[in-house]
Amino acid sequence: MLNFTFYTPTRVVFGKDTEGQVGDLAKAYGAHKVLLHYGGKSAERSGLLGRIRLALEMAGVDYVELGGVVPNPHLDKVYEGIELCKKEGVDFILAVGGGSVIDSSKAICYGLAEPDKDVWELFDKTRQAKCFFPLAVVLTIAAAGSEMSNSCVITDEKTLQKRGYNNDIARPLFAIMNPEITRTLPDYQTESGCADIMMHTMERYFNNGGSMELTDGLSESLIRTVMKNAEILHVDPDNYDARAEVMWASSLSHNGLTGCGTDGGDWACHRMEHELGGMFDVTHGAGLAAIWGSWARFVYRDCLPRFVQFAVNVMDVKPGSSDDETALAGIRAMEAFYRRIGMPTNIKELGVEPTDEQIEEMAAAVAVVCGDPFGSAKKLSKKDVAEIYRKAR
């Protein structure tokens, strides 16, 4: 067990109709004029934005709006939000959406807090943030865990660079989580979200640096819970209890809890998917599912005890005649689960077919961002990353 710091300052307000509290909560945290930041028209059609506007008005909190956030959120929208907030005198950001909207909002908060600097410098790793603008969330998609995390991922749509930045100052002040809101999501988005939640835990689970029995138990239970309820939602999308389990798992998977006592995890699949998503604009959770099996087969022998434990404790695999056999059976079982919920198990099933040149370009970008080698389950070189991409095709 390694030393750790667990920091989770976000206030969570969870359950039915909780979005009605957003006005009073924002006011209590000092908001006078709020930016409502959201994605497409679904938040309007569902009535959610109307309920939020009413709650703000009843609390006497003014607001302006900026929609149009897309999956793999764009840097240009961040710049637009920064300029709008400056012009309108906004003093509080309210993200109404899932991971993409929250990440876009976090980037806007970084930009407003240090207005004389280019916010992309944070994602380009040329400087560190010193301060952050007030941020809160009304969550609409259970997936990224951004509502309680320190992380933020933005895509420069001009260069197709998809880059992340982590800093504890970016954890939202409060997050409103009403599982009913997620009922309007298409099944593919719901299941992609479940894959993302699981991967946030699995990235931390598969490591060669530190372990803790309690952390392992929490991680294994979280993954099993998401798997169970992902299958329920695949056939019964209106099941409130299943949506509530998944939504809470989303937050717990990425607020640091499942990494306590470890080296922080591997994160190779996320780094590889960031480049895949930046180049081909694929759905993040689905991209992770498409890569995971090929990554797992490439690294499992270097992290064999963890893969055996995962197979037995999470995937309910009976131990085979060797640890290799057990580990591989666990990998196959996870891929079978992905197929049961309509997730891809290779890149072709995402609808894209990267060329050898594109694979080399993505691998080179991973090496630039992460170093060469990188990882915890197995140290990966640029050549290794390219090979995993090829095996995942």
What CATH number has the domain bearing residue 372? 1.20.1090.10
Which range has highest mean pLDDT (9-13, 70-74, 139-143, 207-211)? 9-13
Residue 5 lies in a domain: no
* 319: β partners: none
Residue 282 has pLDDT above 90, yes or no: yes
Helix (H, G, I), strand (E, B) or coil at 210: coil
Query: Radius of gyration over alpha carbons of the chain, in Å?
Result: 20
Q: Are residues 215 and 90 in the same domain?
A: no
For 145, what's the count of Cα atoms within 13 Å in the CB-facing half-sphere?
25
Could you tell me if residue 315 is inside a domain?
yes
Q: Is the pLDDT of residue 382 over 90?
A: yes
* Terminal C-alpha separation, the chain: 37
Using the predicted structure, report yes or no on whether residue 372 has a pLDDT greater than 90: no
CA dihedral 183→184→188→190, nearest 10 degrees, is -30
Residue 137 domain-assigned (yes or no): yes
Count CB neighbours of 125 within 10 A.
12
Mean of the per-residue pLDDT values for the chain? 96
pTM: 0.92
Question: Where does residue 360 rank: exposed (0-12), middle (13-18), buried (19+ CB within 10 A)?
Answer: middle
Q: State the Cα–Cα distance between residues 323 and 344, nearest whole angstrom.
A: 27
Query: 140 lies in a domain?
Result: yes
Report whether pLDDT(196) > 90: yes
Q: What is the pLDDT of residue 356?
A: 96
**Amino acid of residue 199:** M
Q: How confident is the model at residue 305 (pLDDT cuts 50, 70, 90)?
A: very high
Q: Does residue 205 lie within any of the structural domains?
A: yes
pLDDT > 90? residue 297: yes
Q: Which two tokens stand for residue 31?
A: 């908001």
Determine contact, residues 320/326, Cβ cutoff 8 Å. Answer: yes
pLDDT in tens, 315-369: 999 999 999 999 999 999 999 999 999 999 999 999 999 999 999 999 999 999 8
Q: Please, are residues 153 and 170 in contact by the beta-carbon 8 Å criterion?
A: no
Q: Any idea which residue has 């959406």 for tokens? A: 97
Residues 170 and 237 in one domain: no
Strands 11-14 and 174-177: parallel
Domain containing 27 — which CATH number? 3.40.50.1970
Provide the number of structural domains found in the chain: 2
Domain of residue 37, residue span: 11-181
Helices and strands in the chain: count of H runs, count of E runs: 15, 8
End residue of a domain, out of 133, 163, 181 = 181
| Euclidean distance between CA atoms 372 and 314, whole angstroms | 31
**Same-domain status, 68 and 117:** yes
Does 75 reside within a domain? yes
Provide the 3-class DSSP secondary structure of residue 32.
Answer: coil
Distances (CA, A) of 287 to 49, 296, 389: 30, 14, 11
Coarse DSSP helix, strand, coil percentages of the chain, rounded to the nearest 5 percent: 55, 10, 35
Separation between Cα atoms, residue 354 and residue 362, nearest integer Å: 10
Instruction: Count Cα atoms within 13 angstroms, Cβ side, for 221.
Output: 11
Q: Which of 331, 322, 333, 338 is nearest to 300 (CA)?
A: 331
